[in-house]
Amino acid sequence: MNPGRKGAACGVRDDELLGLGELGLRLFRAVAREPGSDLTTLAGLTGAPVEQVEAEARRQIAAGLLTDAGGRWEARDPAAVLANRQARELRTQHQAHRAESAALARAGLLADYLTGRHHRRSRAYEVLSPRQMWARLAEVTESAQTDLRFLLDGAPAPANDRAEVAGALVRAAGRGVRVTGVWTPSPEVPPDLVQLPPPSHIQVYPHVPLRAVVVDHATALVPIDAPRLDRGGYAFTSPGLVALVTSLVDLVHANAARDPAGSVGAEGAPDASPTAAELNPSPALRRQAICDLLATGARDPEIAVRLGVPVRTIRRDISVLMAQTGTRSRFALGVALADDHLMTLAARGGEATPPPAEPPPTTGL
């Protein structure tokens, strides 16, 4: 069998391996089997003229296959030579890939594709144009069922859109949706927003970071660029993203609530808005708020909306309150909470405050 044909079944002929031709293959094998041979010996082993052998040997030195040690020839490890060659080819391919990726990024083709894909298919968020942003804001406000929270900074907004959204907020409060807002004092804020009926309330606070709306803990709207409303916005529906925006809104509410003088509610009266403890309460303070709301006959879902926590948290806290007050039903708990001493006991986590001792009777002199 012709040795130059070995390996052809695998797609690579022996005389093509490492770029060797038929003479190159015979020369490399002769040097590998007879290391230290000179050119005359190698010419005899390969059956080729000395001039051709020397030219091929010099070519293989350049390829890293042979070395010349004072006219004596040595072969190098062909596996290492092949590995180095493949590594160089991979580096070249990687550099070409990076260059093509950079060109793709500069062209913006991938960004256009991803934007369209998310806009069409993603349920986590949507990228909205300014016109779409105001339309979606009016839509979610009109469809609110239980709770609507918003932040309003001083960024200017189109008059028509501002009036449309303000009217939707007033209508939402009128049908029983709890609308809570913090806004930076501005002539843009319609007077109707300051006069929302309870339990809705508006707080005035100078440090509002951006405009944001959260509706029914299900949808959140924020601008792409906080100071610029003409660049559109994001509509978040992913629970994690909605919870993140809700936390920001609640934090601003809590900061505003620490300054009662800066808060107004229905009829322009001081607002009975939730305190920082209600918006992000410790368990003891949250249970005190639950006690107050239970005393008004509020049900679990209403209390959950009021305090901004899940219904399961309210039910767990009510179970704790029942255990602390020694009651076995919600009705019995409501009766027990009529006692101010038990309300104090429940709010302090079980630490009773003894009633003040009556002064000893005095006797006339």
pLDDT band at 138; cut points 50, 70, 90:
confident
Query: Do residues 207 and 241 both lie within one domain?
Result: yes
Query: Is residue 82 included in any domain, yes or no?
Result: no
Contact 78, 25 (CB under 8 A): no
Query: Do residues 320 and 239 both lie within one domain?
Result: no
pLDDT, position 48? 92
**What 3-state class would DSSP assign to 221?**
strand
Query: Do residues 23 and 58 both lie within one domain?
Result: yes
Query: Is residue 256 included in any domain, yes or no?
Result: yes
**What 3-state class would DSSP assign to 293?**
helix
Question: 279 pLDDT exceeds 50?
Answer: no
Instruction: Tell me the residue range of the domain where 291 lies.
Output: 281-347
Encoding tokens for residue 341?
């001493």
Encoding tokens for residue 245?
């925006």
Of the residues 268, 300, 328, which one is the last residue of a structural domain?
268
Query: Do residues 203 and 243 both lie within one domain?
Result: yes
pLDDT, position 270? 39
The residue that leads in pLDDT, 297 or 277, is 297
pLDDT, position 209? 81
Model pLDDT for residues 197-250, shown as the tens digit of each residue: 777 877 877 788 888 898 888 899 988 877 666 788 888 888 888 888 888 888
CA 26 – CA 56 distance, rounded (Å): 10
Question: 289 pLDDT exceeds 90?
Answer: no
Question: 268 pLDDT exceeds 90?
Answer: no
Question: 119 pLDDT exceeds 60?
Answer: no
Query: Is residue 364 included in any domain, yes or no?
Result: no
Contact 308, 248 (CB under 8 A): no
Query: Do residues 155 and 213 both lie within one domain?
Result: yes
- Percent of the chain at pLDDT > 90 equals 6
Q: Once rounded to an integer, what is the mean pLDDT over residues 285-293?
A: 80
Query: Do residues 64 and 153 both lie within one domain?
Result: no
pLDDT band at 55; cut points 50, 70, 90:
very high
Q: How far is CA 98 from CA 86, 104, 118, 318, in A?
A: 18, 10, 25, 60
Model pLDDT for residues 143-183, shown as the tens digit of each residue: 899 999 988 876 666 666 666 777 788 888 888 898 888 87
Q: Once rounded to an integer, what is the mean pLDDT over residues 179-195?
A: 68
| Burial of 234: CB neighbours in 10 Å, binned 0-12, 13-18, 19+ | middle
Q: Once rounded to an integer, what is the mean pLDDT over residues 258-266?
A: 48
Task: Evaluate the omega torsion of the peptide bond into residue 359 and state whether it is cis, within 30 degrees of 0.
Answer: no
CA 181 – CA 214 distance, rounded (Å): 10
**What 3-state class would DSSP assign to 79?**
helix
Q: How far is CA 323 from CA 35, 45, 160, 316, 344, in A?
A: 93, 101, 55, 11, 14
Residue 328 belongs to a domain with what CATH number? 1.10.10
Q: Once rounded to an integer, what is the mean pLDDT over residues 260-271?
A: 41
Query: Do residues 49 and 162 both lie within one domain?
Result: no
pLDDT, position 160? 61
Residue 29 belongs to a domain with what CATH number? 1.10.10.10
Q: How many residues does the chain have?
A: 365
pLDDT, position 356? 43
Query: Is residue 201 included in any domain, yes or no?
Result: yes
Q: Once rounded to an integer, what is the mean pLDDT over residues 282-300?
A: 77
Model pLDDT for residues 60-118, shown as the tens digit of each residue: 888 888 998 888 989 888 888 888 888 888 899 988 888 888 887 777 776 666 666 55
pTM of the prediction? 0.40
Residues forming beta bridges with residue 75, ordered by sequence position? 66
- Percent of the chain at pLDDT > 70 equals 70
pLDDT, position 338? 61
pLDDT, position 359? 45
Residues 6+ apart with CB under 8 A from 324: 345, 346, 349, 350
Query: Is residue 47 included in any domain, yes or no?
Result: yes
pLDDT, position 11? 55
Average pLDDT, the chain: 74
Query: Do residues 288 and 220 both lie within one domain?
Result: no
Query: Is residue 197 included in any domain, yes or no?
Result: yes
Question: 349 pLDDT exceeds 60?
Answer: no
Query: Do residues 217 and 158 both lie within one domain?
Result: yes
Query: Is residue 182 included in any domain, yes or no?
Result: yes
**What 3-state class would DSSP assign to 17?**
helix
Contact 342, 336 (CB under 8 A): yes
* Count of structural domains, the chain: 3
CA 132 – CA 49 distance, rounded (Å): 83
Question: 271 pLDDT exceeds 80?
Answer: no
Q: How far is CA 295 from CA 150, 181, 348, in A?
A: 28, 26, 17
Query: Do residues 252 and 290 both lie within one domain?
Result: no
Residue 156 belongs to a domain with what CATH number? 3.30.870.10
Residues forming beta bridges with residue 139, ordered by sequence position? none
What amino acid occupies position 305?
A: V
Q: Nearest CA to 180 among 208, 154, 156, 214?
A: 214
Query: Do residues 54 and 163 both lie within one domain?
Result: no
Query: Do residues 50 and 137 both lie within one domain?
Result: no
Select, from the ranges 68-82, 318-332, 342-356, the one with the highest average predicted confidence (pLDDT): 68-82
User: How far is the first Cα of the chain from the last one, in angstroms, to the nearest whole number?
Assistant: 140
Question: 51 pLDDT exceeds 90?
Answer: yes
